Structure 1
């Protein structure tokens, strides 16, 4: 059993090509954008990250359309979750609504004064979206 005082959470904004990943602090109060990973090597990345960072919980965005219908990406996400759970059976996986995270990420980047060329870099948007997913979870589950 993990000592939860010394564990972290990660947030995932899953995509077919790229996946944004974020990580919490040990107090599980703050979320930090970590990286954007080519989805084809995501499992390998997580096989290194999860034990090295003592990850207790993975929060994965749930893509809902504005009418509350699941996005077509959901089937791919469910397959990813099944694989992740088979590799890390002791890790808790939770889901959270990810609507608007890309729009909010784009707004945050624009407001931060980043130049237009950098703002168009989707990998920045993906990891900030992952951070928003995790941050939303942390806020909703404050102890």
Structure 2
């Protein structure tokens, strides 16, 4: 099987997580500057067989798109132009940053580590990916 990448896209940094080849475990992969994200994904997919890229969809409580959605759409368009055969899916990312901080706290990480934006971005990407995997597996199970 191939891997699945997940992206927590931010205006400055992008957190990236990846599954193992069996698509069972999500782990943090990297945190890159937003301007480097497309190249990172392209290079990664050249080295590793990748089934799809799951990109977090930042939705507000009233289900309207957040302000960063415009930048995410540009990112997706650029990625599709450079790698048209790459499957891209979107997944709701509400509360992932809060959940990432709570997860780091529960794991006993230092306050300094819990405030580190790169760590939070990577952890948020892992949460997006784990949630996506659960959703996908439940969807398959009930069809």
**Shared fold per TM-score greater than 0.5:** yes
What is the alpha-carbon distance in structure 1 between the residues aligned to residue 135 and residue 110 of structure 2?
33
Runs of 4 or more, structure 1, over 4 Å off, are: none
- What TM-score comes out, normalization by structure 1 length? 0.93
- What TM-score comes out, normalization by structure 2 length? 0.93
What is the alpha-carbon distance in structure 2 between the residues aligned to residue 97 and residue 44 of structure 1?
24
Tell me how many residue pairs correspond in the alignment.
138
Gaps of 5+ in 2: none
What is the alpha-carbon distance in structure 1 between the residues aligned to residue 121 and residue 85 of structure 2?
26
Among residues 4, 13, 17, which one is paired with 1:22 in the alignment? 17
Which residues of 2 match residues 98-109 of structure 1 at below 5 A? 98-109=93-104
Gaps of 5+ in 1: none
The answer to whether the aligner puts 1:60 opposite 2:44 as a matched pair is: no
SS class of match (2:128): helix
What is the alpha-carbon distance in structure 2 between the residues aligned to residue 60 and residue 113 of structure 1?
28
CA-based RMSD: 0.9
